[in-house]
Amino acid sequence: MNEIIRIKDADIEYFKRRSGKTGSACGIKVLTGVDFYMKKGETIGLLGKSGCGKSTLSYILCGLKSISSGEISCPFDKVAMVLQNPEGSFDAMWSIGKTLREIKVSYLKAKAHKLAISDKSELEKEFKYWFSKLGIDESRLYNYPGQFSGGELQRIAIICALLRNAEIIIFDEATSMLDALVQARVMKLLMKIKEEYGLTYLIISHDTDMVKLLCDRIYKIENGHINELLEA
C-alpha cells in the first residue's frame, strides 16, 4: 500500500492571545516531533486523553490548521471529518435533501464538472442511492435533521463525505454518543463501505477495545508526543 499522508518531525501549536486589548498572541505547543503516516486502505486508530491534541491533529489533516514546523504531505481536498455530534453539521431549517444538493453542487462547481448541476432529478437519484445503501428509507430524503436519530445522522454525514469524493475519512469520537448496539451496527456498516469503495479511515476514540478490534495500526498521544503502538 502506498502512503497517502505523511507528517515528519512536526511541531503543532495553537495561539492564545495574552490578556489586554493590545496583547499579542503567544504560541503554545500541543504536539512535538510528530511522525505520522497513513497508507491507502488502512484503518488507523488514534488514542489519547481529552485535550491531548487528537482533534488538533485531525484539523491539520483537514487543512483547517497548519503545522508550526516540519513537513507534511496530505491530499487535503480528499479528507473529510465526521464529528461526535453530527447535529451541528446540519442546518435545522434545511431538509437533508437540500443540504446534500448544496454539498454536491458546490463540489461540482469547484471541479468545473460537466454534469448539469441544475439537473435535480439526477442528483436526487444519487442521494436516494446512498440513502438505500446506508439503510435509510429514501422516502425520508426531504425530512429535517431533527427527524433523524443520532445513528442515522452519522450515516448521512458519511454520505456528505462521499458526495465530496473524499478518500480519507476521519471519525472524531463519531460513535461515542450512540448506545453499544447502535454503535456496533454503524461501525460494521462503515467498515463494509470502506472495503467496497477503497476508503482510508482514521478513528479517533477513547474506546481502546473498539480501536484494537477495527484498526490496522494504532497511534497514541501522551505528554505532547505521538507514538505508534507496537501491537494493534
Q: CB within 8 A of 6, min separation 6: which ones?
A: 36, 37, 71, 72, 73, 74
Q: Which secondary-structure segment (H or E) carries 8?
A: strand 3-17
Instruction: Check residue 232 and give its pLDDT.
Output: 57
Model pLDDT, residue 82: 85
Integer Cα distance of 74 and 6 in angstroms:
7
Domain of 123 in residue numbering reads as 3-228
Contact 69, 10 (CB under 8 A): yes
Q: How many domains does the chain have?
A: 1
Question: Would you write out the chain's pLDDT as a tens digit for each of its 232 residues?
Answer: 689 999 999 998 865 555 555 555 556 778 999 999 999 999 999 999 888 889 899 999 999 999 999 999 999 999 998 877 777 789 999 999 999 999 988 887 776 655 555 577 888 999 999 999 888 999 999 999 999 987 788 889 888 988 888 999 999 887 666 677 777 777 888 888 899 889 999 999 888 888 998 999 999 999 999 999 876 5
pLDDT of residue 75: 94
Predicted pLDDT at 150: 79
Q: What is the CATH number of the domain that holds 101?
A: 3.40.50.300
Contact residues for 155 (Cβ-Cβ < 8 A; gap 6+): 134, 135, 136, 186, 189
Cβ atoms of 78 and 168 closer than 8 Å: yes
Residue 111: per-residue pLDDT: 67
Task: State in Å, rounded, how far the first CA of the chain is from the last one.
Answer: 18
According to the model, what pLDDT value does residue 115 have?
54
Query: What pLDDT sits at residue 23?
Result: 55
pLDDT score of 105: 86
* 217-222 and 43-47 beta bridge pairing: parallel
SS3 of residue 151 by DSSP = helix
Which residues are registered as beta bridge partners of 82?
Answer: 171
Q: Is 146 exposed, middle or buried (0-12, 13-18, 19+ CB in 10 A)?
A: exposed
Predicted TM-score (pTM) of the model is 0.83
With H, G, I as helix, E, B as strand and everything else as coil, classify residue 139. Answer: helix
Q: Which grid cell is 103?
A: 454539498
Question: CA-CA distance, 164 to 38, in Å (whole number)?
Answer: 20
